[in-house]
Every structure is written in C-alpha cells, then in structure tokens.
Amino acid sequence: MKFTKENIVFLLENVGGSENIEKISHCISRMRFKLVDITKANTEEIKKQKWCKGVLIVGGEYQVVIGTEIESFYKMFLKTTGINENANDELKTKKQKMTFIMFVSSIFSPIMILLVVYGMWEMVRTPFFLSSNSTEIPTLIEINSFMELISKGLSWFIVMAVCWSTFRVMGGTPIIGLAIGAILISPMLTPLSALDLDGGKTIIQAMNEHGWKIFGNAVFPWKVSFEGLVIPMIFVGLLGVFIERGMNKVNLGGARMLIQPMVVIAGTVIVTMFTIAPAGLIITNYMSISFNFLMTHNITKYIFSPLIGMLYAPMVVFGLHRTITPILMQDILKFNGSFIMGLMIISNICLAVGCLTFGRLNKNCKEVKNIAYSNGISAFIAGVTEPAIYSISLKYLFPLIASAIGTYFGCLLYTSAGVWTNAAPFGILGIIGFASTIPQGINVEQWAGGSIVWGTLSVILGISITIFMTIVLSQVKYFKERTNKILFDEYGFTPELKQKSIFKFKGNKNGKIK
C-alpha cells in the first residue's frame, strides 16, 4: 500500500499532535506511541482509515497496527512530522510507570527482526546442514561451514543486542550496552553448549574446569559465556544502567568522557562475572529444562503444549506473547530449535487460515474481502499475524475462536508425535523446520516417520479444523448478527438475504403489516 503525507498528518493530529508524543518507535507491524495524555487520541477515527489494521493500548502504550509495510510508514512519519528518529531519548516530558509486559516488549521489539532473519537463514542452511552430517562430500561440508559463519554471527549479535536494547529502554547509553554484550560473549569464555556433561557431571562440576583461580586453588569466577543466555543478559543491562546512573551523580569534571564509560563497562563486567553469570547459568539452564519437561512429560505435555499453542494468538492481543520470546530465543541459540517454535508456527498458520476463510465467506463485501486476503496471506507466509488479528480475527471474534480450536488440536498431535522444530520462519515456510532431529539433552519419544511427517500433518489437521470451525461458527446467530452489523456500520454492506426472509411478514387482524 502506498502511504501519503495526508495519512501521516491525519495520524499525528489524531494522537494529539507532536506535543502529546513522549516516545515513538515501531516493531514488526505496529507504530508504538508513549503519549503524554492518552485520552487525547481519537481512536475511533484512526480505526476508520484503510491503512490502519487496528489500535490497541498495551501497558499504557498506544499502538497503531500498520502491517508489514511499517518500516516505510515509520520513516515517512518521522520525515513528515520532523520528529527526530531518536525520539525514544529526546521526547521525554514526564516519567510514567512501565509495566513488566511493556518493559519486556520494548526490549525485544527491535530485536525480533533479527530472530526472523535467523530463522529464514537457518531454513536456507538446513539442507546443507543435514547433507553435511549424512555424507562425506567435502564441498557440502565446506558450504555448511561457511553458512554457519552467518548463523553464529547472528546468534551472538542477538544476545549482544539484548544488552544494547535494555540500555536503550532504561535511558542508558546504548553503545556501552553493546560493548558489555560483546565482552560477555568473548571467545575467552565458555558457552553452555561446550560443557562436558558426560558421566553424570553437574553444571557446577563441569564449570570448575573452566574458570579463574584468583583465590588460590578455588576455581571462581567461572568463565561463563553469555552465548544463549538471553534472560540473564537483561539483568546485566539493568546493572549497567544503574552503575551509569550512579556515575552521573559523581562530579568528574572534564574527565567524565574518559572515566565514566570505563567504570561502567569494567564495573558491570566484574560484578556480572561474580554474580549474574553463575546464577544466570544455573537458573536459565534449569528454567529451560523445566519448560521442556512440561512439554515432554508423558502427562503434562498433553495439557501444557496444546494450551500454549491455543492461547498464543490471544496472548498477542494483550502483548503477553513477548514473555515467551526470551525462552524461545534461548532454546534456539542453545539447541538451534525449540518445541515452542512449532506451536507458534501452527498457531500463526491457523490464524491466517481463519482470516482467509472469513474473507471467502464474506467475498461479496469487496472491502473486507481484500483486507482479509491481504492480511491473511501476510500471516500465512511471513507469520506476521497482528494485522490479521486486529482487522479480522478479534474484530469479528469467531475467526479467532475457530483458529484457537484448530491450533489446539494441531498442537495436540504435534506434541503427541514428539515433533521437534529447528529454527525456521514463523509462517508456512516454517514447515522446513520440521526437517529436524531431536538434539541431545531432549528426551522425548517420537513417532515413526519423524518430525517432518508429523509436523506437517499437525499443520494440516490444524488448518482443516480451523476452516471447519470458522464455517460452523459463522452460522451461529450471535456471530452472524455481529458480523452483519459491523459490515453495515463500516462498509454500508447489507448481506444478500433469501427471498423468503425478505417478504415473510406477519399481519394483524386488520390485515396491516406488523
């Protein structure tokens, strides 16, 4: 869609003008405003615009859903309004409380594109990776090794970017956060994946082989690399910001530019290696183990996994899906895949199918058909579901319920069959992620045929049930009346009624029509 200057001016005026904007940013599909006075926003008028896929308020943040073309819209907004791109740091008029969900969302929003790129690249690399492990053809082995250069670089930078983003969100100096992140994934340190846990060794016993003997024979602190430790890196960023704030209160005169960055970086790294690193290594490892246990245990997997999949789309509505992101990223960086990723792929595909089916059912209303098809295809192919959710699924409600039911049964089969998903895109192309083998350390019984067969069948089952339930629910009186009212109010569209329902009138005793 081509955006115009009038679109930008309209949005600016209806969020209360530039003086009402405290912060501005964007994620993969939404404009995100922190408004001084949120009541000044004219939400209903914004929703009526064709370029707007929906409006929601999450944790005090005003979000306008644009869709996959958000990048061009955001750049045009900055250029047209004259608002500086560093608005996050400069447009501050008063401090407001930040909720936990908003905090997590703000950290991971700018990083999500890297996770998408990582998934896409791993999809491209998968055939070479599998071939290099099953054959001894030197060319394939070398190509896979070369492609791993990009994979490793992205996985390292994602962790570094978490520290950078935490500094950015908390008002610190982002470049210092990036430097701290780089130090903590130095090749001098040992990642969790490189630990030798054979022979029943615990993590502590294994780490005792990798550490500094500063205090005599005692091995401490450990040489813990933060590669794959996404959640602990958030705490590192917070620590660095608090140290920087403390240094801001110290009168260093002209030496501030030299001394403060050094103290913040060195102080954060030293404190981290003695406290956050060992604690984060142990807690993160066992948190991941607990999560995977719930998804693989013979009893809990039939409850926990399908519910996560079914509730994923509704979680997107409230921004709660960001709480899963750290665990997902951690699994991907550690195992190059995750059980959770497959659940998300099935959920995204089912939601897209529900949206597309709705468009087909209401094909006579061209406006809503075009919206449903464009946003449904975006969700189906790229896994970008927000436009489909806010423009169709949540708005008309029954497509969201139908896709949740389809997702539940798709995820139930996915879990029962013991499917594992390698890093892959979040849409239909994510099926390539089912071409995988379960990594060491993950104990699960897998049905004959493997992940590729049962993962694909899980998607097909979810799609089939979603289509069926969307059609069935569309005939329910409440949903039919709700849909007809919205179509009439917003598009002036009146569904074609059967002849008998148009001319079926009842008369009173005088022959007058009631």
Same domain, residue pair 159 and 235: yes
- pLDDT, one tens digit per residue, over 167-208 is 998 989 999 999 999 999 999 998 876 766 555 566 677 788
For residues 250 and 356, membership in a common domain is answered with no
Please indicate, yes or no, whether residues 303 and 280 belong to a single structural domain of this protein: no
Q: What would the two tokens of residue 349 be?
A: 């595909």
pLDDT tens for 418-456 read: 999 987 778 898 898 898 888 876 778 899 999 999 999
Nearest of 468, 464, 371, 451 to residue 415 by alpha carbon: 451
The domain containing residue 244 runs over which residues?
100-286
**Model confidence over 259-295: pLDDT tens digits?**
999 999 999 999 999 999 888 777 766 776 777 788 8
Judge if 409 and 369 occupy the same domain. yes
State the pLDDT at residue 161: 93
What is the SS3 assignment for 459? helix
Domain-located, residue 235: yes
The answer to the question of residue 471 being in a domain is: yes
Q: What is the pLDDT of residue 433?
A: 87
Residues 45 and 140 in one domain: no
Residues 386 and 269 in one domain: no
Same domain, 105 and 202: yes
pLDDT digits (tens, 9 = 90+) for 118-159: 767 876 787 787 677 667 788 888 998 999 899 889 889 988
The residues assigned a catalytic role are 27
Burial classification of residue 313, based on how many CB atoms lie within 10 Å of its CB (0-12 exposed, 13-18 middle, 19 or more buried): buried
Which run of H or of E encompasses 31? strand 30-35
- The pLDDT, as a whole number, for residue 487 is 87
Mean pLDDT, the chain, integer: 84
Please determine, for residue 402, whether its predicted confidence score (pLDDT) is greater than 50. yes
Q: Are residues 324 and 426 in the same domain?
A: yes
How many Å separate Cα 248 from the centre of its chain? 34
Residues 152 and 269 in one domain: yes
Are 336 and 442 in contact by the 8 Å Cβ rule? The answer is: no
- Residue 224 within any structural domain of the chain: yes
129 and 19, same structural domain? no
List of residues 6+ apart from 23 with CB closer than 8 A: 32, 33, 34, 87, 88, 91, 92
Same domain flag for 196 and 306: no
Distance (Å, rounded) from C-alpha 378 to C-alpha 388? 8
Same domain, 247 and 373: no
Structure tokens of 109? 């929003």
Of the listed ranges 22-36, 165-179, 495-509, the one predicted with least confidence: 495-509
List of residues 6+ apart from 13 with CB closer than 8 A: none
According to DSSP, the β-strands at 337-338 and 61-65 are unpaired
User: Which of 257, 286, 315 delimits the end of a domain?
Assistant: 286
Q: Which 3 state secondary structure label does DSSP give 21?
A: strand
Count structural domains, the chain.
Answer: 3
- pTM, 2 dp: 0.62
Does the residue 60 lie in any domain?
Answer: yes
Phi, psi at 86, each rounded to 5°: -90, 35
Choosing from 230, 265, 286, the residue where a domain stops is: 286
Q: How far does the chain reach from its first CA to its final CA, in angstroms?
A: 48
Query: Is the confidence at residue 459, as pLDDT, over 50?
Result: yes
Consecutive H or E run containing 35: strand 30-35
Q: Is residue 513 part of a domain?
A: no
Q: What is the mean pLDDT of residues 240-250?
A: 94
Helix 398-416 to helix 301-318 angle, to the nearest 10 degrees? Answer: 150
